[in-house]
Amino acid sequence: MDKKLQATAHAGLDRPPVGAALIGLGEISEPHIHGLIEAREDVRFVAVCDISAERANAVAQRIGAKAYTDYRDILADPEIEAVDLPLPHHLHFEVASSALEAGKHVLLEKPMAPSIQECEALAALARRKGLTLGVAENTPFVPAYVEAKALLDSGALGTLRSVRTLISGSEVHRLRDTSNWKGRTAGSIGGAIFDAGPHSFFLLNWMFGGIATIRAVTAKLVEEAEVEDNALVNGRLNSGALFSSEFTFTAEIPWGERLEIYGSAGSIVIDHLLNPSFVHYRGGSDISGARGAADPDPKYWKARSIAAGVGGFMAAVRRGLPAPVSPQAGTDAIRAVMAAYESVSKGGLEVKLSTSSKAR
Ligand SMILES: NC(=O)c1ccc[n+]([C@@H]2O[C@H](COP(=O)([O-])OP(=O)(O)OC[C@H]3O[C@@H](n4cnc5c(N)ncnc54)[C@H](O)[C@@H]3O)[C@@H](O)[C@H]2O)c1
């Protein structure tokens, strides 16, 4: 950390904890609640909001916070300095831009916004207002990924040759429910690529130095859905290595992620549903490999990383530091999403990308 940042970080500790509110109390809200509670040194958890009054009241009572049903009332509350937004995709831009206009720091769930232009507009607005905008991308808070990145950066894997990622689980129930935003174009904007793609594309940018070209094909297996529920994406990284990323929302298996990294001096396989979940192979004859230090945790790895990301963002706000996952990194992930959709619209043709981001 440079001297200027170090001084700012230290100065931030004299500030009182950040008054924070959570807007959106759905499926993924629990790890966000935990993140805000666990970061109590940096956060005063002031309020929660959901259009469901029942949900808002129940959570507010449980954690001892105020309950709101209209997010505009949160934005008018002077006690609240920062908002955390795990909301349906079509609300990301509207609520985030209103919050920034109202002078609140914003942590926005992925996918950052429905278009590159909207991502850039949010970043510009945050800069103009002098506020912190971050993306709740949990990938850099997953211990197994941090461990893999350290090994890769140390040169232990040699030259990177190829990378494979998989995100799998079942959204079949929500996709079949025509009243749920998840399967609707108007609510979700896109399907498996828009929803899960930002995780893998962030990972490819953050760990491997960015994506150069993309090709993609999709399928829609759930009849009632308007958006794709499966996608195969592949291409070339800026380093010249190949990648392939698979997203499936129709896999009847606990939600999980798999990452395979193949280098000239060894490989790493991470699979959050397996134990060991992290194995480092030093070559073709290294049959058993070495297990990583990161604890296998098939049930809570995701929730823990989301909670850690929320805490990391609030700590950054309090100290006046940049968000752990920057608007630039969130935008670059959306850039890859859009390139994948462009490829789909061209029947799977290769699309060139110009992501600069190696940063978070
Ligand atoms: N980081 C991850 O790994 C991860 C995992 C799952 C979901 N997500 C993201 O989190 C977000 C939410 O997903 P979810 O599955 O929890 O959705 P959800 O539908 O379960 O929850 C959304 C909540 O927002 C509430 N809501 C809707 N409109 C509102 C409004 N105007 N004001 C206040 N509340 C409103 C709904 O009532 C609901 O409780 C999405 O962006 C999704 O992509 C991220």
The domains of the chain, with CATH numbers, are: 3-138+308-325 (3.40.50.720), 139-284+330-352 (3.30.360.10)
Instruction: For residue 29, report the distance from its CA to the centre of ligand 1, in Å.
Output: 7
Residue 297's pLDDT is what? 87
Residue of 105, 77, 111 whose CA lies nearest to 92: 111
Atom of ligand 1 nearest to the CA of 109: 41
**Nearest 5°: phi and psi at 217?**
-130, 150
DSSP state of 39: T
Instruction: For residue 333, report the distance from its CA to the centre of ligand 1, in Å.
Output: 19
Residue 358's pLDDT is what? 43
Instruction: For residue 18, report the distance from its CA to the centre of ligand 1, in Å.
Output: 23
CB 350 within 8 A of CB 215: yes
- Calculate the alpha carbon distances from 20 to 53, 87, 152 in Å: 19, 16, 36
The tens-digit pLDDT sequence of the chain (360 residues) is 455 545 555 556 778 999 999 999 999 999 999 999 999 999 999 999 999 999 999 999 999 999 999 999 999 999 999 999 999 999 999 999 999 999 999 999 999 999 999 999 999 999 999 999 999 999 999 999 999 999 999 999 999 999 999 999 999 999 999 999 999 999 999 999 999 999 999 999 999 999 999 999 999 999 999 999 999 999 999 999 999 999 999 999 999 999 999 999 999 999 999 999 999 999 999 999 999 998 888 889 999 999 999 999 999 999 999 999 999 999 999 999 999 999 999 999 999 997 554 433
Residue 9's pLDDT is what? 54
Strand duo 290-291 + 211-219: pairing: unpaired
For a pocket test of ligand 1, which of 73, 94, 109 has the largest count of ligand atoms closer than 8 A to its C-beta?
109
Burial of 270 (0-12, 13-18, 19+ CB in 10 A): buried
Residue 295's pLDDT is what? 80
> What distance in Å separates the CA atoms of residue 240 and residue 134, rounded to the nearest whole number?
30
Going by alpha carbons, the residue nearest to atom 30 of ligand 1 is 51
Q: In the numeric block, which tokens belong to residue 57? A: 């009241």
CB 165 within 8 A of CB 258: yes
